[in-house]
Amino acid sequence: MSKTILVTGGAGYVGSHAVLELVTRGYRVVVIDNLAKGHPEALPPGVEFHHVDLKDYAKLPPIFAAHQFEAVLHFAANSLVGESMRDPWLYIGDNVMNAANLVRAAGEAKVRKFVLSSTSNLFGVADAPISEECPILPASPYGESKYMVERLLKWAEEIYGIRSACLRYFNAAGADPKGRIGEDHEPETHLIPLVLDVALGRRKSLEIFGDDYSTPDGTCIRDYIHVNDLADAHIRVLDALETRSCAYNLGNGRGHSVKEVVETARRVTGLPITAHVGPRRAGDPAFLVSDSSRIRSELGWNPQYSDLAVMIDTAWKWRKAHPKGYRNTN
């Protein structure tokens, strides 16, 4: 009998790619999503879907009672650094309390595995690749909220026996290589789809948030990781949770500046992409690159789409076919 996985935020960007990969590998999947940012059209046929907000605890126990879940994959969260600087209580409140409701329901239902979609924003400012041993100094209320959930999971193990994997990943990018699903946010804030919207003529110019950082070209450097490689890591840790809790940093181990992303997108699309420099954005460190050697050595995780041009190409194919995102889907 196929194992059943509960995925929260499974209609969102990273969550939907994890759902598709789980289904491809033969798992049964149940999705909870409040559709604040998710799209039910992103879910493959046969996936059980519940339009539920995690803040409504009373709706969770019946879902758990109806299934014997092998694990919970928790993607549902507010996730914008800039927004968290403007409205910290939305993050400290919703992200933490919603996760607490979910962990409580999972613990009472005797679920024993929990995978948290965490963040590199836990680590704040760094000038070298970030390993799991680096000090946790959240750079924003968003990062703080994820760290609070990680701490909550430590107590969940003591109280309920839930083993957890906290996956602190860097900038998700790309789309399903077969073009079935992709990235669609409203409003869009991620760099690569914004760059591609300029290529499509959907916006006149890309705003670069500052070019006076202490980096070679003055723009922020980030470690981009393909969304399918993220999905693989979330599934790969399920076996590790048979014996232990764990935390891993996920990235490709090399960074690309904003200007480098724009230049690569110009080559991939063959189109001019206009960009202009604006003021810095609050909460943005100059350099965020992952040292992912631990998950590579311990679990054999090996990103299959590590080249920036490949990531942009998969995103470009999705964006061209769906210029209005899932609103194009019939």
As averages over each run of 10 residues, the pLDDT of the chain (330 residues) reads: 90 98 97 96 96 98 98 94 88 94 98 96 84 91 95 97 96 95 88 95 95 95 96 98 97 94 98 95 83 97 96 96 77
Q: Round to whole Å and give the CA distance between 31 and 23.
A: 12
Residues 319 and 50: their CA atoms lie apart, in Å, by 27
Phi, psi of 177 (to 5 degrees): -60, -25
The count of structural domains within the chain is 2
Looking at the DSSP bridge assignments, the partners of residue 69 are 4
Indicate if 195 and 138 belong to the same structural domain: no
Q: Same domain, yes or no, for 86 and 214?
A: no
Amino acid 170: pLDDT: 85
294 within a domain of the structure (yes/no): no
Task: Tell me: do 211 and 134 sit in the same domain.
Answer: no
- Residue 153 counted as domain residue: yes
Q: How far apart are CA 135 and CA 70, in angstroms?
A: 32
Q: Which domain holds residue 319?
A: 191-222+254-288+305-328
Residue showing tokens 């804030």: 189
How high is the pLDDT of residue 283? 67
Cβ(13)–Cβ(227) under 8 Å?
Answer: yes
Interior angle at CA 29, CA 299 and CA 48, nearest 5: 165
Query: In this predicted structure, what is the pLDDT of residue 328?
Result: 63
Residue 123 pLDDT: 87
Per-residue confidence (pLDDT) for residue 53, from 0 to 100:
97
Please tell me the total number of residues recorded for the chain in this structure: 330
| Contacts made by residues 186-190, CB under 8 angstroms, sequence distance 24+ | 186/37, 186/325, 189/80, 189/82
Distance CA 222, CA 224 (A): 6
Q: Judge whether 83 lies within some domain.
A: yes
Same domain, 139 and 209: no
Structure confidence at residue 284 (pLDDT)? 78
Contacts for 13 with CB less than 8 Å, ≥ 6 apart:
172, 183, 184, 185, 227
Whichever domain contains 260, its CATH number is 3.90.25.10
Indicate whether 101 belongs to any domain.
yes
Instruction: Say if residue 38 is in the same domain as residue 10.
Output: yes
Q: Active-site residue among 27, 142, 160, 224?
A: 142
Q: Is 142 designated active site?
A: yes
The answer on 271 and 231 residing in a single domain is no
Residues 159, 274 within the same domain: no
Q: Are 193 and 144 in contact (CB under 8 A)?
A: no
Q: Is residue 200 part of a domain?
A: yes
217 and 235 together in one domain: no
Residue 138 and residue 207 share a domain: no
Q: Do 246 and 313 lie in a common domain? A: no
Residue 182 lies in a domain: no
- Torsion over CA: 294, 176, 99, 115 (sign): negative
d(CA 113, CA 163): 5
Q: Does any domain span residue 33?
A: yes
49 with 100, same domain: the answer is yes
The reply to whether 48 and 94 lie within a common domain is yes
Position 184 in a domain: no
